[in-house]
Chain A
């Protein structure tokens, strides 16, 4: 089985040393950590918020908050700790946005920019259009999931984290992580198949 077996990035050489230096207020060391994790944090924020410009702001806030609270990062698990800050920041942002305007649960949440989808680097046969349409739909369906399920599904299926690490990043038990992922996937399956345009095929 192709299990999500993403290793903890804390195993990477030097991560512990950087973390220790950052705890002492070393900004350069912290910025090295930023370089290593900014893509992950930014992508998580994109998928949680559905907007690249919001994601950019929240990512910056996440790292700022992480640096200010770096002494509270106990142990050697920097990545789940960082992801937790990012997830909380996204939650706050969604709440702020929810207060400003009421978003219908049925309609896709308005995304103020172009849909988050990179143009495929190798445009091929016509199936490519289908694949891109499929991605657009699943990305939109993802944004309609309840926040907790969305977070679990994004961390597991998009970022490839293990259940263990998701549990650490979300602060809930592995059993809860499993059930959130299962319910999220079930909803996605229902939503996407109910659109009826095509059958999702395992393609990778």
Chain B
């Protein structure tokens, strides 16, 4: 008998948690919980008082009056017919992503126009193309690293896959004219990205380049593997160890180059083939050729910045509105 009493005393000593007492008051405690509570409160005045208080609170709340509806909340056909301005996203919230997308498209078009601007007498389009692409990728990686603090590309979650140049499928055959081959090469240097593009400013540009950005590349493609466009296996061979002198010579050979895009490509190819010597010698090819269409470059910078800013705003709007969805 004494043993049983002791055992009960031990059981009763354990104070009951609030949730158990609360559920007990609601009659929602399990059978075993109920038995424990009832046994415990017999022996524990403190918990008995807690229970009493809980009941008081509960009945005080239940005694709060239920108000009658002040009027009918029936809907009228006129209420329902209205559009949904309050519940849907506002006009600006919808317009900003669209504007951002438009800016991206405009940027891509401008770059395409820029690069495609005109055929040039590049003697080795195959080499120029591969090297230019590699250079663009490197520039992109640099730009991504530099702009990582400010570029919204990462924040916007924009996957920016480097689109492999279409020309990799259609190799310029021996039957093509020089112009055709050059056109393919030029188009392959256009790198488009799904996300927010940024411009790699002319950080390696010397005094001759008048401060204009010269290479445009998507900042979102911060970590793409620089994909070398493979031509025929034989054509790929001389790409990597290309001596920088070859390009310099080539470019200076085409001295009265009328097209800035060609100069740009050459500069890209150059910086790819020899990164250390690039800065110095690229200036020589760039200066004097780059300034013929400055508005194009400024437009590229403008659209890229606009796209980046709009994407940032859109991302922020989206983040703040997400938790309010029903």
Q: Using a CB–CB distance below 8 Å, which chain A residues touch chain B?
A: 1-4, 27, 30-31, 34-35, 38-39, 41-43, 46-47, 52, 56, 59-61, 63-65, 67-69, 72, 84-85, 88, 92, 116-118, 131, 134-135, 138-139, 142, 153, 156-158, 160, 163, 178-179, 181-183, 185-186, 188-189, 192-193, 199-204
Q: Are B75 and A201 in contact (CB under 8 A)?
A: no
With A39-B66, A182-B23 in contact, do A56 and B324 touch (Cβ < 8 Å)? no
Q: Are B26 and A42 in contact (CB under 8 A)?
A: no
Q: Which residues of A lie under 8 Å from residue B79 when comparing CB positions?
A: 64
Q: Are B22 and A181 in contact (CB under 8 A)?
A: yes
With A67-B80, A178-B19, A182-B22 in contact, do A135 and B64 touch (Cβ < 8 Å)? yes
B82 (CB) vs chain A CBs: closest residue: A64
Q: Are A118 and B26 in contact (CB under 8 A)?
A: no
Q: Which of B54-62, B106-114, B208-216, B290-298 contacts A (4 or more CB under 8 A)?
A: B54-62
Q: Are A192 and B57 in contact (CB under 8 A)?
A: yes
| Chain B residues with a Cβ closer than 8 Å to the other chain, count | 43
Q: Are B75 and A67 in contact (CB under 8 A)?
A: yes
**Shortest Cβ gap from A84 to chain B (Å):** 8
- Interchain CA distance A2-B26 in the complex, whole Å: 7
Does more than half of chain A's interface fall in helix, strand or loop, or is it mixed? helix
Report 16 cross-chain contacts, Cβ distance below 8 Å, ordered by A residue: A27-B75, A39-B67, A47-B64, A61-B86, A69-B326, A85-B326, A131-B63, A134-B63, A157-B58, A158-B64, A160-B62, A163-B26, A188-B61, A200-B60, A202-B59, A203-B59
Q: Are A135 and B26 in contact (CB under 8 A)?
A: no
**B53-96 vs A: 1/0 string, CB under 8 Å?**
11111111111111111111111010110001011000000000
Q: Indicate which residue in B50, B61, B71, B73 contacts A157 across the interface (CB closer than 8 Å).
A: B61
Is B225 an interface position by the 8 A CB rule? no
Q: Are A27 and B19 in contact (CB under 8 A)?
A: no
- Interchain CA distance A134-B27 in the complex, whole Å: 25
Q: Are B67 and A178 in contact (CB under 8 A)?
A: no
Q: Using a CB–CB distance below 8 Å, which chain B residues touch chain A?
A: 18-19, 21-28, 50, 52-75, 77, 79-80, 84, 86-87, 324, 326
Q: Are A200 and B53 in contact (CB under 8 A)?
A: yes
Q: Which residues of B lie under 8 Å from residue A135 when comparing CB positions?
A: 60, 63-65
- Interchain CA distance A164-B232 in the complex, whole Å: 69
Q: Are A200 and B56 in contact (CB under 8 A)?
A: yes
Q: Which residues of A lie under 8 Å from residue B326 when comparing CB positions?
A: 65, 69, 72, 84-85, 88
- Interchain CA distance A188-B52 in the complex, whole Å: 13
Q: Are B80 and A188 in contact (CB under 8 A)?
A: no
Q: Which residues of B lie under 8 Å from residue A163 when comparing CB positions?
A: 26, 28
With A1-B27, A27-B77, A202-B55 in contact, do A56 and B70 touch (Cβ < 8 Å)? yes
Most chain B CB atoms below 10 A, which of A88, A185, A203 = A185
Q: Indicate which residue in B57, B64, B75 contacts A64 across the interface (CB closer than 8 Å).
A: B75
Q: Are B61 and A138 in contact (CB under 8 A)?
A: yes
Q: Are B61 and A153 in contact (CB under 8 A)?
A: yes
With A34-B75, A189-B54 in contact, do A138 and B70 touch (Cβ < 8 Å)? no
Q: Which residues of B lie under 8 Å from residue A160 when comparing CB positions?
A: 62
With A92-B324, A178-B22 in contact, do A185 and B65 touch (Cβ < 8 Å)? no
Q: Indicate which residue in B62, B63, B87 contacts A65 across the interface (CB closer than 8 Å).
A: B87
**Shortest Cβ gap from A55 to chain B (Å):** 8
Besides A64-B75, A157-B58, A189-B57, 6 new A-B residue pairs in contact (Cβ under 8 A), listed by A number: A31-B74, A34-B75, A42-B67, A68-B84, A178-B23, A183-B18
Q: Which residues of B lie under 8 Å from residue A84 when comparing CB positions?
A: 326
Q: Which residues of A lie under 8 Å from residue B61 when comparing CB positions?
A: 138, 142, 153, 157-158, 188
